[in-house]
């Protein structure tokens, strides 16, 4: 039995994600997480390099082993330590406002660190050297054109949605134009928390990370407006301690999140998050409003 087969022999699928490629395993006498890359084999090199790059700056797991070149038919993989804590989504089910506020402030600190890791261009990472290449998607309006037929909207709804997109692009053009490290899946399912201390112990699942907008990760966190107490605390820390991101921060962040939201909405029915994204896009198309009924986290009710 070679090294990969020995690791895979103890593999137990982990819940929480939707890719079906992440497993709890035992390796070298410790609990570990095995991430396979059958669908995107080249991404293993990127993820291993990113985790090594930001370790000590962000709460990411230590890389124990990685196979970034396909050998003998085995998939590429990254093996990391298994961090302590529980999924933030589960933590919030019972957390009171004080603990929500504490976690929100910590999320703000993570967002500040991410937005302070600059890059010279926008795009996706390639290879262990984290080479940046353009997504080649054009602007946000072109991105919508590529997906809009899958939304099942009427012509009137599409017209209103285009107006939302146009306003979001105008707002983006007047905002901060630098690029930074974007986790791109910065939400409760990818954060771990110690349930006893309410301290964040991990930011995991980096497979969509890229160089992009400093508003994008905040927009992901604010996407569904599910926890105003937590979101308000995160916003406060970002505004008070982070790089200056200008005014209308909530609106700019929601606009930056449209790239991911449109892509998710086009896959409605594949998982609950994609279906929720489709519902949100439909509300935008119904109302012609970027907020689409989501609460303003800056307003205390």
- List the chain domain ranges: 3-81, 96-287
Q: What is the pTM of this model?
A: 0.93
Percent of the chain scoring above 70 in pLDDT: 93
The residue that leads in pLDDT, 226 or 7, is: 226
pLDDT at 1: 38
- Measured at the alpha carbon of residue 154, what is the angle toward residues 151 and 159, in degrees to the nearest 5? 95
pLDDT digits 0-9 by tens, 28-37: 678 899 999 9
Q: With beta carbons less than 8 A apart as the criterion, state whether 42 and 62 touch.
A: no
Percent of the chain scoring above 90 in pLDDT: 80
One CATH from 3.90.1200.10, 1.20.1260.10, 3.30.830.10, 3.40.50.10300 for 96-287: 3.90.1200.10
pLDDT digits 0-9 by tens, 58-116: 999 999 999 999 877 788 999 999 999 999 999 999 999 999 999 999 999 999 999 99
Residue 21 pLDDT exceeds 90: no
What is the rounded distance in angstroms from the CA atom of residue 184 to the CA atom of residue 257?
Answer: 9
Q: With beta carbons less than 8 A apart as the criterion, state whether 44 and 66 touch.
A: yes
Strand 118-119's sheet: what is its strand order? 118-119, 179-182, 210-212, 123-126, 131-133
Domain 3-81 matches domain 96-287 at the CATH topology level = no
Long-range contacts of 96-103 (CB under 8 A, 24+ apart): 97/229, 99/198, 100/227, 100/229, 100/230, 100/233, 101/229, 101/230, 101/232, 101/233, 102/198, 102/233, 103/193, 103/198, 103/200, 103/230, 103/233
Q: Span 195-200, mean pLDDT?
A: 97
Q: Which residues lie below 8 Å from residue 178, measured CB to CB, with a gap of 6+?
A: 118, 214
Q: Hunting for tokens 């200008």 — which residue is that? A: 246
Token pair belonging to 205:
């699942």
Token pair belonging to 140:
């946000």
Q: Span 171-175, mean pLDDT?
A: 84
What is the rounded distance in angstroms from the CA atom of residue 229 to the CA atom of residue 298?
Answer: 9
Which CATH architecture is the domain 3-81 placed in?
A: 2-Layer Sandwich (3.30)
Token pair belonging to 288:
């012609």
């Amino acid at each position: 039995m070679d090294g990969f087969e020995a690791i895979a022999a103890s593999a137990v699928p982990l819940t929480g994600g939707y890719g079906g490629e992440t497993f709890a395993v035992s390796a070298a006498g410790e609990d570990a997480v095995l991430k396979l890359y059958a669908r995107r084999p080249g991404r293993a090199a990127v993820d291993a390099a990113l985790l090594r790059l930001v370790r000590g700056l962000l709460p990411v797991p230590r890389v124990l082993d990685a196979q970034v070149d396909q050998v003998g038919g085995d998939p590429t993989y990254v093996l990391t330590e298994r961090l302590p804590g529980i999924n933030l989504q589960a933590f919030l089910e019972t957390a009171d406002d004080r603990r929500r506020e504490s976690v929100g402030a910590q999320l703000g600190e993570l967002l500040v660190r991410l937005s302070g890791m600059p890059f010279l261009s926008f795009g996706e990472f390639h290879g262990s050297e984290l080479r940046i290449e353009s997504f080649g998607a054009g602007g946000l309006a072109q991105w919508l054109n590529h997906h809009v037929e899958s939304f099942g909207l009427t012509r009137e709804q599409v017209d209103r949605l285009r107006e939302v997109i146009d306003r979001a692009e105008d707002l983006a053009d007047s905002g901060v134009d630098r690029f930074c490290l974007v986790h791109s899946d910065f939400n409760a399912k990818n954060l771990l928390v110690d349930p006893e201390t309410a301290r964040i112990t991990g930011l995991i699942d980096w497979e969509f990370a890229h160089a992009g907008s400093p508003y994008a990760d905040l927009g992901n966190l604010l996407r569904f407006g599910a926890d105003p107490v937590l979101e308000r605390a995160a916003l406060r820390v970002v505004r008070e301690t982070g790089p200056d991101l200008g005014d209308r921060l909530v609106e700019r962040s929601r606009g930056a999140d449209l790239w991911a939201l449109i892509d998710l909405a086009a896959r409605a029915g594949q998982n609950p998050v994609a279906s929720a994204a489709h519902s949100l896009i439909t509300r935008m198309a119904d109302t012609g409003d970027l907020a689409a009924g989501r609460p303003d986290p800056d307003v205390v009710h």
